[in-house]
């Protein structure tokens, strides 16, 4: 590890501890040449995940884009940003746990809807209306009927 002050290539580790809830390691180092201290972080390298869009285009998975869509669905709903960020974390974790390096947007949308349905039904319907591109009010009503039937079954 090169020293950020003098550029020397050797340093010693003074202290190591878990950071970011165990997803990385924070190391306090001291340069062997100039004796200045600096901090480095070690984390697991994530392999790039490619998303296959509906039109066949491919692009890298962007968690910020996913979070933006969820925030729009949850607008003016009593859902904290922490809950939305946790939802994105769970969706990303589920996607990355698949063996595939490429994932279709359809799968991502279905996973998001499954999580949103348990968080807030209005946000779920909002997300579904954009994701499933309801052509008319009949499609929208069918989705609402399914949601209401599931809610009735859950109460029994």
For tokens 């998975």, name the residue.
61
Q: Do 34 and 18 fall within a single domain?
A: yes
The boundaries of the domain holding residue 59 are: 50-155
Q: 102-104 and 50-52: which strand pairing?
A: parallel
Identify which has the larger pLDDT, 22 or 8. 8
Q: Is the pLDDT of residue 45 over 90?
A: no
Q: Do 93 and 135 fall within a single domain?
A: yes
Nearest-angstrom CA–CA distance, 61 and 53:
11
Would you say the C-alpha torsion 117, 123, 127, 132 has a positive or negative sign? positive
Q: Do 67 and 137 fall within a single domain?
A: yes
Q: Is the pLDDT of residue 46 over 80?
A: no
Q: Do 79 and 149 fall within a single domain?
A: yes
8-state DSSP, 7: -
- pLDDT at res. 111: 95
Q: Do 115 and 143 fall within a single domain?
A: yes
Token reading at 119: 């968080």
The tally of domains found in the chain comes to 2
- pLDDT at res. 135: 66
Q: Do 32 and 108 fall within a single domain?
A: no
Asked whether residue 4 is domain-assigned, the answer is: no
Q: Do 63 and 120 fall within a single domain?
A: yes
Q: Do 23 and 69 fall within a single domain?
A: no
Asked whether residue 3 is domain-assigned, the answer is: no
Asked whether residue 5 is domain-assigned, the answer is: no
Asked whether residue 26 is domain-assigned, the answer is: yes
Identify which has the larger pLDDT, 133 or 89. 89
Q: Do 38 and 58 fall within a single domain?
A: no
Arithmetic mean of pLDDT, 148-152: 80
| Closest to 54 (Cα-Cα) out of 117, 123, 132 | 132
Arithmetic mean of pLDDT, 33-54: 90
Nearest-angstrom CA–CA distance, 43 and 21:
12
Mean pLDDT, the chain, whole residue set: 89
Q: Do 82 and 33 fall within a single domain?
A: no
Q: Is the pLDDT of residue 155 over 70?
A: yes
Coil vs helix vs strand at 126: helix
């Amino acid at each position: 590890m090169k020293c950020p002050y003098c550029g020397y290539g050797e340093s010693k580790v003074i202290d190591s501890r878990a950071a970011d809830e165990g997803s990385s390691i924070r190391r306090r180092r001291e340069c062997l040449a100039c004796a200045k201290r600096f901090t480095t972080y070690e984390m697991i390298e994530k392999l790039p995940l490619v998303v296959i869009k509906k039109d066949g285009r491919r692009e890298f998975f962007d968690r910020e884009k996913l979070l933006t869509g969820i925030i729009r669905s949850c607008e003016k709903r009593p859902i904290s940003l922490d809950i939305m960020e946790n939802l994105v974390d769970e969706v990303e974790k589920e996607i990355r746990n698949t063996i595939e390096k490429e994932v279709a947007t359809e799968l991502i949308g279905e996973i998001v809807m499954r999580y949103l349905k348990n968080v807030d039904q209005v946000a779920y319907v909002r997300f579904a209306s954009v994701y499933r591109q309801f052509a008319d009010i009949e499609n929208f009503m069918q989705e609402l009927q399914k949601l209401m039937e599931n809610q009735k079954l859950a109460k029994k």
